[in-house]
Amino acid sequence: MTGTLINVVTVLVGSALGMTIGARLPEKIHETVVRGLGLVVLMLGMQMALGTANPLIPLGSIAVGGILGEWWDIEGGLHRLGGWLEARVSRGGADEAATSRFIKGYVTTSLLFCVGPLTILGSIQDGLTGDYRLLAVKSMLDGFAALAFSASLGLGVAFSAITVLVIQGGISLLAAQASAVLTDPMIKEMTATGGVIMLGLAVSSLLEIKPIRVANFLPALILAPAIVAALTALGLPVAPKF
């Protein structure tokens, strides 16, 4: 859990600095910074997605995961949670624009900080061996990202630290069981699927090209390794030659 606690602290510190500095910056600078981060997230997502050994696995995972996510309304749940948190913080004094800004900051950064290979691999490594170096690297990246996002999206970014604590902390606590189940091909396809989700996050929330309910694709992160496990059990190749 050490790496997760470091990550939580860096997100909180980065958010505090961003809100302090951000108030002094013009709106066009906020917009440019967020768009720049969107381009970087787009690049990272593409890099992760291209690591798949079989494009059909992320495709199937995203398709079925999206159906499940829409059925369970995961995106709506995150928005409701963000709205509830904002209401508790503002005690009902915020207008509609401020509430929307809070929710966008919370949902966007929660997804960004918790979807990626460093989250999974770092949490497992930290939980199994106590080696938190991967999460320390992720913490520095998330801290700088929190600084940039909070300058534009405000207090909601800081509350994503709760999501980081729950997701990464949960993975670390379950690391012994997860490591016994997850193989390298499973992690590879999970990472590629996470890359597709990051692409959606960049297109929707950061670059604002097309609205996408990105959180509803989160079940795909579980489906990807499950598909690999099913193919292996059936004796079929995970990476067939096309």
Q: Is 240 a domain residue? A: no
Q: How far apart are CA 207 and CA 159, in angstroms?
A: 22
What pLDDT, on the 0 to 100 scale, is given for residue 118?
65
pTM: 0.75
DSSP 76-90: HHHHHHHHHHHHHHH
Contact 173, 165 (CB under 8 A): no
Total count of domains within the chain: 1
Neighbours of 235 (CB within 10 A): 6
Contact 111, 81 (CB under 8 A): no
Q: Is 239 a domain residue? A: no
Q: Is 71 a domain residue? A: yes
Contact 51, 188 (CB under 8 A): yes
Q: Is 242 a domain residue? A: no
Nearest to 77 by CA among 106, 101, 112, 98: 106
Residues in Cβ contact with 44 at an 8 Å cutoff, skipping those fewer than 6 apart: 116, 195, 198
DSSP 18-51: HHHHHTTS-HHHHHHHHHHHHHHHHHHHHHHHTT
Please identify which residue in the block is written with the tokens 């939580």: 8
Nearest to 41 by CA among 170, 166, 142, 180: 142
Q: Is 21 a domain residue? A: yes
Q: Is 125 a domain residue? A: yes
The CA-based diameter of the chain, rounded to the nearest angstrom, is: 60
Residues in Cβ contact with 65 at an 8 Å cutoff, skipping those fewer than 6 apart: 193, 216, 217, 218, 219, 220, 221, 222, 223
What pLDDT, on the 0 to 100 scale, is given for residue 116?
63
Q: Is 115 a domain residue? A: yes
Q: Is 44 a domain residue? A: yes
Which strand (E) or helix (H) includes residue 126? helix 117-129
What pLDDT, on the 0 to 100 scale, is given for residue 44?
80
Q: Which domain holds residue 40?
A: 2-233
Tell me how far the alpha carbon of residue 197 is from its chain's centroid: 8
Contact 153, 104 (CB under 8 A): yes
Q: How far apart are CA 196 and CA 174, in angstroms?
A: 25
What pLDDT, on the 0 to 100 scale, is given for residue 182?
78
Give, for all 242 residues of the chain, the pLDDT tens digit.
788 899 999 999 988 988 888 667 777 776 787 788 778 878 888 988 999 999 999 999 999 999 999 999 888 887 787 677 666 666 555 566 777 788 888 888 887 788 665 677 678 768 866 778 778 878 887 888 888 888 878 888 888 898 889 988 888 888 767 667 778 898 889 888 888 888 887 888 778 788 888 888 888 988 999 999 999 999 888 887 65
